[in-house]
Amino acid sequence: MIELIIPMIIAFLTTFFVTKLIIRFLKVIGVVGIDLHKKNSPKIPSSGGICVSIGLIVGMLAYIGIQTFVYKSSINSLDFFAVMCSMFLATAIGFVDDMNVRARMIKTKDGLNIKAGLPQSKWLLTLPAAIPLMVISAGESTMAIPFIGSVNFGLLYPLLLIPIGFVGASNAVNLLGGFNGSEAGMGAVYTLALGVYALMHASHASVIFLILFASLLAFLKYNWYPAKIFAGDSLTYLLGSAVVSGVIIGDMEKIGVIVLFPFFIEFLLKAMSRFKASCIGILMKDGKLDSPYGKKIYSITHILMNLRPMREVEITLWLILIAAVFSLIPFLGIV
């Protein structure tokens, strides 16, 4: 375990210290978002995925270096470099999106403007980030299909299933968030679960998930309520790409689907609004958040706010709990 613990520590420390610098940098170049869940709507630096990706890549390079020079081990570095390339591209695409965001606005029942959902045309932005995994034909083309059995997809796996899975996972993770600490908090839960599961099954995908978990923990120091930096699309795209990359090279597709199931639920709810609805709530005078769509449900967060108005940190904790419940299912031995 020592060869994994050291890279995790390196990733944690790198993210922890680099985030301070990135916050200043984002303020200077004007990559900021409006925190609508706070009084006076302060402007907060966005695109926190840059911080996490730096820690993740440094940690993974440290792991490869330890394996190469200390243990003289022949690891499958091609998989790791392809994954790092995909995650870097996903983060870069998210950063460009954060820089050029032109958020559409909608009117709420109280006459307030809030940020609306992403235009559907942006869903294909993450497709280029799948190319590194496609060109090395990552993973196994044979998959177990429920009620059918094992199916060998051949060339359809790298050329069709990988890009579909990559785009789907990246954008699904991007659908649910908007609260201080929610994206990074949920990410820390399911990356830890995936990492432990992969470690238990001797899969080298554990390296990706556990190093990413360490980076997310460090980032949460600045992203937790009250946030000093937002996650931004750069982090949600990074998280989605990391999960799909890890489950592909670790042959854990079924486990990945289970862990990300809350995001698939979110996808169905958002589809009811034709992807025009937002997750965020309306700030009330007592500091709590209420659903902007009344009794209509277009997000998991609307369900929570319809139970009762909640403070932002309460909603974040509920989302993390939901992620934890689904992340525990693979360990129950029922799949």
- Model pLDDT for residues 206-221, shown as the tens digit of each residue: 999 999 999 999 999 9
Pick from 19, 2, 3: which is nearest to 216 by CA?
A: 19
pLDDT band at residue 75 using 50, 70 and 90 as cut-offs: confident
The 10s digit of each residue's pLDDT in 16-45 is: 999 999 999 999 988 898 898 998 889 999
In whole numbers, what is the pLDDT of the chain averaged over residues? Answer: 89
What is d(CA 182, CA 184) in angstroms, rounded to the nearest whole number? 6
The answer for residues whose C-beta is within 8 angstroms of residue 111's C-beta and 6 or more apart is none
Task: Give tens-digit pLDDT for 127-177.
Answer: 999 999 999 998 888 877 766 777 888 889 999 999 999 999 988 999 999
First to last CA, the chain: 27
- 111 has pLDDT over 60: no
**Does the pLDDT of residue 98 top 80, yes or no?**
yes
Query: How far is residue 87 CA from its own chain's centroid?
Result: 11
DSSP state of 43: E
